[in-house]
Chain A
Amino acid sequence: MANDIALSVDGLRKQFLLSHSGAASLKTALLWWRRRKLEHFVALDGVNLQVGRGECVALVGRNGAGKSTLLSLISRIYRPTSGSIAVNGRIAPLLELGAGFHPDLTGVENVVFNGIILGLTRKQVQARMADIVRFAELEHHIDSPVRTYSSGMLARLGFAVAVHVDADILIVDEVLAVGDFAFEQKCYARIEDFRRSGGTILFVSHNMESVRQIADRCVWLRGGKVEMEGAPESVITAYQGDRSEVDL
């Protein structure tokens, strides 16, 4: 892969098995065994996408268009049904609301753990601890168990860890509108810094204002296919003009 490409997705297809049987248990599996029909749902259907190093690409599309599925495939959460994904560098997903925080552990303990999950070593997290805490502005609470935090405080801490892991590619799925207004501005400023230092960003948003504000390029997904891609303004105009029914 060429060195100026951060991410290359080729003929990507993802198919899910649809479930009609409710709870996942041996009991239902046995009861439904004869009546089970295997129905497949194609969430992504031959997606091609290239993201250059240092580029900021926005994914837009209706609910169920496959945006989160695409991001998950890129982060290696799912395995593609077919097609390929090549990544140049380290990926960090922005976790929403501190997913992975344990309520009984303190802020510091959770930061260490989350940092390691995102690929840092323990030493690296400890070296960045002061920056992370300062960024989240949680100096007074960082030694209390996170169950005492408000949801906004949790989100701040989660975001602070994610932006301090120094990944090459940041993956953001609709998590920027979590803190209060001042913190949101801070997040955008931080993302701007990240880009200036050569980081690549792939993000999903339903907020066209933020797409206009930070994206270099916009990709519109529709029914698991790339409907259109190009300059944000023209793609947003086309996307907002789309009045067809969504078929979920």
Chain B
Amino acid sequence: MKAELKELWRFRELLFAMVERELRIRYKNSALGFFWSLLNPLITVLVMTVVFKYVMNNDTPNFSAYILAAYLPYLFFQLTLLDASQSVLVALPVVKKVYFPREILPLASVFSNFIHFLLAILVFFAYLLVVYLLDPRISPFSWTILLLPALLLINFALAAGLSLIVSALNTFYEDVKYIVSVLLYLLFFLSPIMYFSETVLYSGGLGGRNQLIYFLYHLNPVAMLCTAYRKVLVPPQPVQVGENFYPALPLDWGLLGITAAMSLAALIGGYAMFNRMKWRFVERP
């Protein structure tokens, strides 16, 4: 693996060029293109907020900020995996002609989506600031924001590891991307995006096994990351479950540690797996 990493480093300029190219294509060479690409998540969050406020009668103040704090990371994860799953396949004509470390292809998808994600977080901060200016009772930032880089790192490792696996598999089995997109769709509901993770703990429908289910729920690294982003980015807030309000739980370091370990394992395992398969990409049946 050391030799492979060295080779990858030797080709870093190609990785930068590929990331730049993907962003150029995505933003169509204009700053407006970036904001255009944010339109989809913003509209989604707007609809979710409206449904929550008026249909489900949940009046958590500033709810859209809580959705965004979890939805943006989820979106990063989703878009990265979908892009990466196609990355080797669409580049196959070049791959068959020129040598370069093949892992550059999925990694370029990861990096370009990560940059996009970082920009989206900046826009999110601007949004928090606007909300604060409109209503000074809602404080925008707390010290927990210092933990954001750690979350980003874990999130990046997880996305990169799974992207390597998915892109390698999808090169041989072209239906893998459909399976991945279905799983991602399910993951949306199994992650605390439209609701709070505390809801799982205090829900009345789990037959008294709430502690266990809350733990199992957070073994899913995406769910754990969404929970953690929300705790880090926006201030804690009492959670409404049914008629009752419950205090917000603090960030669970043990669970986050498990997610960090899983993400690291995904990165190392994914890279090893990709390297074992990459020489056969050009010989695929």
The yes or no verdict on A and B being binding partners is yes
Which residues of chain A have a CB within 8 Å of any CB of chain B?
A: 16-17, 19, 21, 23-27, 29, 72, 75-79, 91, 93, 95-96, 99-100, 102, 104-105, 109, 112-113, 116-118, 121-122
A and B contact pairs by CB, cutoff 8 A, 20 listed: A17-B283, A17-B285, A21-B285, A23-B174, A24-B174, A25-B173, A26-B173, A29-B173, A72-B96, A72-B282, A79-B279, A91-B99, A95-B97, A99-B94, A100-B94, A102-B25, A109-B24, A113-B17, A113-B18, A116-B17
Type the 1/0 row for B242-265, where 1 means its CB is closer than 8 Å to any CB of A: 000000000000000000000000
> B268 interface residue, CB < 8 Å from A?
no
Smallest CB–CB gap between B182 and chain A, Å?
13
Give the contacts of B57-111 with A (CB-CB under 8 A): 91, 93-100
The 8 Å CB contact of A77, one of B21, B97, B179, B284, is B97
Q: How many A-B residue pairs have CB under 8 A?
A: 76
Beyond A113-B17, A116-B13, A122-B13, whether A104 also contacts B93 by CB under 8 A is no
Q: A25-B174, A26-B179, A109-B24 are in contact. Are A93 and B285 (CB under 8 A)?
A: no
| Chain B interface, number of residues (Cβ within 8 angstroms) | 28
Any A CB within 8 A of the CB of B175:
yes
Residue interface mask B5-42, A partner, CB < 8 A = 1: 00000000110011001001100100000000000000
Q: Tell me, in angstroms, the Cα distance from A133 to B272 when the chains sit together.
A: 41
Q: How far is the CA of A75 from the CA of B175 in the complex (A)?
A: 30
Report the Cα distance A104→B24, complex, angstroms. Answer: 10
Q: Is the CB of A105 within 8 A of B98?
A: no
Nearest B residue (CB) for A74? B99
Task: Assess whether B172 is interfacial by the CB under 8 Å rule.
Answer: yes
CB < 8 Å neighbour of A78 from B25, B93, B279: B279
From A23, A24, A113, give the contact of B21 (CB < 8 A). Answer: A113
A105 near B25 with CB under 8 A, answer yes
B283 with A16: CB separation less than 8 A: yes
Residues of B near A78 (CB, < 8 A) are 279, 282-283
Cα A19 to Cα B21 in complex, Å, equals 35
Q: Are the CB atoms of B285 and A24 closer together than 8 Å?
A: yes
Q: Is the interface of B mostly helix, strand, loop or mixed?
A: helix
Chain A residues within 8 Å of B172, by CB: 24
- List chain B residues, Cβ under 8 A from A121: 13
B176: interface (CB < 8 Å): yes
Could you tell me the distance between the alpha carbons of A64 and B174 in the complex, rounded to whole angstroms?
27
User: Which parts of B120-138 form the interface with A (CB within 8 Å)?
Assistant: none
In angstroms, Cα B24 to Cα A113, docked, is 12
B17 touches A24 (CB 8 A): no
The CA-CA distance from A28 to B170 in the complex, in Å, is 13
Closest Cβ–Cβ distance, residue B272 to chain A (whole Å):
17
Q: A16-B283, A27-B175, A105-B21 are in contact. List 13 more A-B contacts (CB 8 A).
A: A23-B174, A24-B174, A24-B285, A72-B282, A77-B282, A78-B279, A78-B282, A95-B97, A100-B97, A100-B98, A109-B24, A113-B17, A113-B18
